[in-house]
Amino acid sequence: MTSRTAIVTGSTSGIGLAIAKAFAASGMNVVVNSFSDTAQDHAIAETIANEHSTEVAYLQADMSNGVDCRALVAKTAEKFGSVDILVNNAGIQHVAPVEEFPPEKWDAIIAINLSSAFHTTAAAIPLMKKAGWGRVINIASAHGLVASPFKSAYVSAKHGIVGFTKTVALEVATAGITCNAICPGYVLTPLVEAQIPDQMKAHDMDRETVIRDVMLDKQPTKKFVTVEQIAATATFLVSDAAAQINGTHVSVDGGWTAA
């Protein structure tokens, strides 16, 4: 993988950051991304590069903006000469009953969690086809397979990502490119931490009860998935061993969707 270049969207924290670190550890060039473009963002990329002696760049892009999404791919290709691996990870969340769900939150969740993957993938596929090799990984969710209350936008977006994954896989199957989705259960990331207060309000529960009886209720192991476990799954999916895994999802959810 030392000659490969990977983009990981939404990768300055949580799952995305863990994947960026794992890819750098395997010798890839990596583009770290967020919308904020702070000194800390650039420092994250520099730290990963120094730790793993590979080239890591921070590139800002607002993943709610299709033009920015496509520009991220173009800038990566300009800097590194290729875009071999694309991980569509950027995501946001909001929890509320459907009749109270703010329309602007719906629009933002669909844009960042679903439409961004369309834009980045559409921009990256021609580059991968030209190279005769490529990997697209979409970070979906157990909520891409099953639903939970108060998450209408998130569940809709993640179901959409799973369907998008299958369609792209069929389109590129003879081009040396694979497209797969990872469907994590609950991972204790900043995104999940941020939704705990909303869940407490929606269910009228305290923090510990929400974690035990809502978040981990359907996760049979009763443990959060770790970001390192998701990163290891992504690393496998971009390897040659996974060349015939295409158009499917890999559930890393402690058995949530086994029932």
Question: For the chain, give me the number of helices (H) and strands (E)?
Answer: 9, 7
Q: Are strands 5-8 and 29-34 parallel, antiparallel or unpaired?
A: parallel
pLDDT at 198: 85
CB contact at 8 A, 109 and 152: no
Strand ranges in 47-194 using DSSP code E only, listed in sequence order: 56-60, 85-88, 134-139, 177-184
10 Å Cβ neighbour count for 206? 9
Q: Which CATH architecture has domain 5-186+226-252?
A: 3-Layer(aba) Sandwich (3.40)
pLDDT at 1: 65
Instruction: Show me where the domains of the chain are located.
Output: 5-186+226-252
Distances in Å between the Cα of 212 and the Cα atoms of 97, 220, 221, 252 are 21, 11, 11, 19
Evaluate if pTM is beyond 0.85. yes
pLDDT at 76: 98
CA 160/CA 194 separation, integer angstroms: 23
Minimal CA–CA distance to 189: which of 160, 150, 229?
Answer: 229
User: Mind listing the pLDDT tens digit for each residue in 223-255?
Assistant: 999 999 999 999 999 999 999 999 999 999 999
pLDDT at 135: 98
pLDDT at 119: 99
Backbone angles phi, psi at 249, to 5 degrees: -120, 150
Could you list the pLDDT tens digit for every one of the 259 residues in the chain? Answer: 678 999 999 999 999 999 999 999 999 999 999 999 999 999 999 999 999 999 999 999 999 999 999 999 999 999 999 999 999 999 999 989 999 999 999 999 999 999 999 999 999 999 999 999 999 999 999 999 999 999 999 999 999 999 999 999 999 999 999 999 999 999 988 878 887 998 899 889 999 999 999 889 989 999 999 999 999 999 999 999 999 999 999 999 999 999 8
CA 100/CA 137 separation, integer angstroms: 33
Does the annotation mark 58 as catalytic? no
Active-site residue (options: 154, 164, 186, 224): 154
